């Protein structure tokens, strides 16, 4: 007896469909019901249960429930390594997913370790320019950038972007993520003009193919906000950031980790515009939500509290 979820769509398409149609709560409920049925019929160790648990982990991760996703993916990785092998495609996907949870939780060294292992295994079994290998290299590059190793990240991402261009041609959505992250790595090095070119292309492709409020479009738009700030175009940056924040709040929810990043960015822009009191209030809301969602020791939370203290000193001295 198979899962009705699995009959409809393979895992990546299923998750992407849920994201596009913003029915994650329904997806969560359906997946849990399917998993309960499978456990009752086949037992908790059955392969179908592991697959459904992986789907559930992806859903809760998109919802921003990071610790729950990390727990689920750690359990499924142990099950897949035992039942299948370390080199099995499902196990490799599981490794990548768990690494993404570690990275989102600020545990970058743990994420990097898993990603390096995944990249090496995919190079061995799939080849250097296989699309799955390229996706894994891109994920590793993002983790390196999160650790301020931006030159290493740029090198990896440049290779990924050019390989994907050769494979997919112009205007393919698979290129959006790698182009956006390349733009981010360039921005971190002060190379604003180059970053603008890649960020704008990523935003236009994603908006045309996935919609203005798709999470990848919002991410590319956020890159362009950073570009405008670097160019000194603060009013334009504020308008674009306001749109991003409104869309993310509506689509993802105010407590989603991505929304909190956008909230933080808006507070920084207001501060740059001289709206120090407004920036302080918004940063306070952001920091309090981050404590609830990410924990007090998460890197993003600590950064928000540090900025809030600086804003407090600034407003008190006025």
**How high does pLDDT run on average in the chain?**
90
pLDDT value at position 59? Answer: 86
**Can 1-106 and 127-235 be said to share one CATH topology?**
yes
CATH node for 127-235: 1.25.40.10
**Alpha-carbon distance 63 to 92, whole Å?**
23
CA distance 55 to 264: 30
Kindly report the backbone phi and psi dihedral angles of residue 211, in degrees, each rounded to the nearest multiple of 5, phi listed first: 100, 155
- Asked if 27 contacts 59 with a C-beta cutoff of 8 angstroms, the reply is yes
Task: Label residue 5 by pLDDT band (50, 70, 90).
Answer: very low
pLDDT of 7 reads 47
Give CA–CA dist 293/316, Å, rounded: 29
Confidence of residue 34 (pLDDT cuts 50, 70, 90): confident
Do the Cβ atoms of 63 and 28 come closer than 8 Å?
A: yes
Q: Where are the domains of the chain?
A: 1-106, 127-235, 254-318
Q: How confident is the model at residue 318 (pLDDT cuts 50, 70, 90)?
A: low
Question: Cβ distance 140 to 115 under 8 Å?
Answer: yes
- Asked if 258 and 252 touch (Cβ cutoff 8 Å), the reply is yes
Residue 286: the pLDDT is 97
Residue count of the chain: 318
Q: Which helix (H) or strand (E) element contains residue 159?
A: helix 150-168
1-106 adopts what CATH topology? Answer: 1.25.40
Supply the DSSP symbol for 174: G
More confident: 239 or 214: 239
C-alpha dist (Å) from residue 121 to 40, 77, 109, 124, 155: 35, 15, 19, 5, 20
> Mean of the pLDDT values across residues 53-80?
92
What percent of the chain lies above the pLDDT cut of 90? 75
Mean pLDDT to the nearest integer, 12-30: 67
CA-to-CA distance for 220 and 217, rounded, in angstroms? 5
First to last CA, the chain: 69
Contact (CB, 8 A) for 5 and 52: yes
122 has a pLDDT exceeding 50: yes
Q: What percent of the chain has pLDDT over 70?
A: 92
Report the pLDDT averaged over residues 240-257: 94
pLDDT digits (tens, 9 = 90+) for 150-194: 999 999 999 999 999 999 988 888 889 999 999 999 999 999 999
Distance CA 247, CA 218 (A): 8
Q: Determine the pLDDT at residue 13.
A: 62
The closest of 235, 294, 240, 307 to 268, measured between CA atoms, is 307
Q: What is the mean pLDDT of residues 259-275?
A: 97
Rg of the chain in Å (alpha carbons) = 20
């Amino acid at each position: 007896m198979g899962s009705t979820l699995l009959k409809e769509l393979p895992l990546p398409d299923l998750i992407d469909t849920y994201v596009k149609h913003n029915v994650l709560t329904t997806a969560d409920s359906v997946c849990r019901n399917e998993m309960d049925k499978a456990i009752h019929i086949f037992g908790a160790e059955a392969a179908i249960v592991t697959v459904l648990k992986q789907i559930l982990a992806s859903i809760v991760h998109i919802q921003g429930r990071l610790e729950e996703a990390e727990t689920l993916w750690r359990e499924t990785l142990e099950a897949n390594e035992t039942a299948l092998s370390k080199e099995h495609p499902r196990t490799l996907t599981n490794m990548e997913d768990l690494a993404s949870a570690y990275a989102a939780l600020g545990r970058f060294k743990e994420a990097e370790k898993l990603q390096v292992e995944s990249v090496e295994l995919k190079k061995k079994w799939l080849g250097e320019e296989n699309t799955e290998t390229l996706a894994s290299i891109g994920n590793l590059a993002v983790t390196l950038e999160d650790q301020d190793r931006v030159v290493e990240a740029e090198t990896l991402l440049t290779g990924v972007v050019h390989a994907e261009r050769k494979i997919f041609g112009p205007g393919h959505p698979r290129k959006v993520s790698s182009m956006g992250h390349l733009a981010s790595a360039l921005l971190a090095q002060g190379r604003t003009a180059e970053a603008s070119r890649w960020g704008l292309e990523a935003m236009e492709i994603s908006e045309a193919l996935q919609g203005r409020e798709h999470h990848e479009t919002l991410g590319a738009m956020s890159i362009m906000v950073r570009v405008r700030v670097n160019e000194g175009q603060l009013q334009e940056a504020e308008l674009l950031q306001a749109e991003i924040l409104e869309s993310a709040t509506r689509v993802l929810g105010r407590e989603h980790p991505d929304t909190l990043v956008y909230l933080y960015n808006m507070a920084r822009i207001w501060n740059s515009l001289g709206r120090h009191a407004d920036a302080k209030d918004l940063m306070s809301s952001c920091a309090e939500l981050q404590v609830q969602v990410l924990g007090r020791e998460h890197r993003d939370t600590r950064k928000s509290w540090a900025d809030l203290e600086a804003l407090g000193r600034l407003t008190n001295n006025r």
